[in-house]
Structures are given as C-alpha cells and as structure tokens.
Amino acid sequence: MEGYLVNPKNTIEILKKHNIRFQKRFGQNFLVDEHVMKKIISAAQITRDDCVLEIGPGIGTMTQFLCEAAGKVLAVEIDRTLIPVLEHTLSEYENVTVICGDILKQDINELSVRYNCGKPFKVVANLPYYITTPIIMGFLEKDAPVESITVMVQKEVAERMQAEPGSKAYGALSLAVAYYAEAYLVANVPKNCFIPRPNVASAVIRLKKYKEPPVKVKDKKHMFSIIRASFSQRRKTLCNGIKNSAELNYKREDVEAVLEKMGIDSDVRGETLTLTQFAQISDMLM
C-alpha cells in the first residue's frame, strides 16, 4: 500500500475498496490530519523499547505511525468487519498484532505477560466517545499494567479530566484522574480533521500514571464515595450531599464537625475542595 492512511485521499480509497460503512455504535471517526497524528505520537513518548496497546485501530490510520515508532504494537479492534482491512493496510509491518475483541473484556495483565514480558503498556487510542470514561477509569482503578494513556476524547471530557478546583469543569472525574495520573492536554482537534466529521469537538490528552498516588488516604473507596456524593447535585453543599448519599451513613453534624476542625466553612461546596482536602475529610469521618 502506498502512502499513509492519514491522507484523506488514501482513507477514502480504502473505505471504498472495502465497502466500509461507518458503525455509529462503535463511534467510528477516522483521523485524517497528519499534523495531529504526529502530535499524538510525540506526546505518547514512544520509543523502540515500548509495546503500545492501541484501542480501536479502525482501518489502521494511527497504527501505521505507531508501528514505525514502537518496538511492538498490540491493536484491539471490536469491529470484526475491519479485521480484513487491517490485514491489508498493515501488511508492510511485522511488529503489529491485531486482536478482535472488546477492550473492556480483555485481561490486560494476561496481554502484558503474553506480548510485553509482563511490562506496562503505553496506551494510545482514538476512543469512541460514548465509552471513554469506562475504558480510562477501568485501566486506572484496576491498576492495569499501563505506564501512560494518550487518547483522543471529546473536548469536554478532556477539560473535565484536567480541571482545577473552582472551575466549571471540575468534578468527580477530575478528582479520580488526579488521584491516579498526571493529566496533560496535548491539543484541541477541530471536527474537520475526521472522516466522517463528529458532532462534537475533540482533544488529545495524555495521562501519565503515578507510581504512587499524590495523596495518602486510609480507604480510597470511602474517599471516592464522599467525592461522588459531593458532586451528585452541584448546587448542594458538601454537608447536604454527604448526608443524602445512599452510599454513606453520616449526619450533617458529623460532616460539619470535620469541616470545623479543618477550618472550612460548613456551607462549602465540593467543587472548591482539593484532592488533599477530600482525603482529609474521608480519614476524619472514618
């Protein structure tokens, strides 16, 4: 095959040749901007020593670049109709293995042992936007063997992942990501960089997983229950959110007493508190 698929002309030729119809249920939008593609590869900091786990290779557009940068590429594609396409578009590369399957059902530890000698993957993906959060949080919460995650996501989700306390985008997802990884916004990506054009703006974000969380907490599950309760209704105060939570069993005065000891106003809302403060609240309520 001549030329990269990131060239719109080549993408269209492949789509026609294989009679590909876009699957909305898989969120298929193919990137056709080489400048953005190179930014993704650069941000992922891939070397020949790396084994990259690519989620949703599609027709192989980004996979081609990954194969040229990495030692090995393991690409997991859920749409079985694209497997013959990938066999064609990736035929020049000997360092790629394509698996047909759902990434949410894969045993990442087992894949790491089989394909990467048990070492962590660098994850790179143009994710279907409807399933972005379950995939990313699944990797982080289950402590999967992953060093970093560099992904194309909905711009709004990227903003939430790296939001700071007090901002409109700040919420439970911001805090969850902050506990597990350092977030860096690589680039905003216009709609015209894709075939077909998505309905929403996109962005590339890199999450570099911490070896140790930036805060210490007695029970992280308890802390995240408090965080979820605090953001269940943004207009509610922290005290009311925790008091009304079905996951927790605290009275308003329990929370007020903790906040008083911390020197925080009892009318505070969750969106103004840092991860460190949530960890303190969690420990003091236990």
DSSP 138-162: HHHHTT-SEEEEEEEEEHHHHHHHT
- The number of helix segments (H) and strand segments (E) in the chain equals 12, 9
| 126-146 average pLDDT score | 90
What is residue 164's DSSP assignment? P
At 67-106, the pLDDT tens digits run: 999 999 999 999 899 999 999 999 999 999 999 999 999 9
For residue 99, CA distances in Å to 40, 52, 146, 169 come to 22, 13, 18, 36
**What percent of the chain is predicted at pLDDT more than 90?**
80
pLDDT for 158: 95
The token pair at 212 is 């140790």
Residue 61's H or E segment, with its range, is helix 61-69
* Separation CA 172–CA 195 (nearest Å): 32
pLDDT of residue 22: 60
The three-class DSSP label of residue 53 is: strand
Tally the C-alpha atoms within 13 A of residue 146's C-alpha that lie toward its C-beta.
27
pLDDT band at 23 (very low <50, low <70, confident <90, very high): low
Over 60: is that where the pLDDT of 21 sits?
yes
pLDDT in tens, 157-189: 999 999 999 999 999 999 999 999 999 999 999
- As a whole number, the mean pLDDT across the chain is 92
The per-residue DSSP string of 188-255 comes to EE-GGGEESPPSS-EEEEEEEE-SS-SS--S-HHHHHHHHHHHHSSTTS-HHHHHHT-SS----HHHH
Task: Give 35's contacts (C-beta < 8 A, 6+ positions apart).
Answer: none
Element (H or E) spanning 75, and its range?
strand 72-77
What is the predicted pLDDT for the residue at 19?
82
The per-residue pLDDT for 24 is 53
Distance between CA atoms of 138 and 89, rounded to whole angstroms?
Answer: 30
Q: Is the pLDDT confidence value at 1 over 90?
A: no
Q: 23-32, 104-113, 240-249 — which is least confidently predicted?
A: 23-32
Mean pLDDT of 5-11: 88
Q: How far, in Å, CA of 157 to CA of 72, rounded? A: 29
β-strands 30-31, 194-195: how paired?
antiparallel
C-alpha R_g of the chain: 21
Q: What is the pLDDT of residue 26?
A: 52
pLDDT higher than 60, residue 16: yes
Q: What is the pLDDT of residue 144?
A: 95
List the domains of the chain with CATH numbers: 8-209 (3.40.50.150), 220-285 (1.10.8.100)
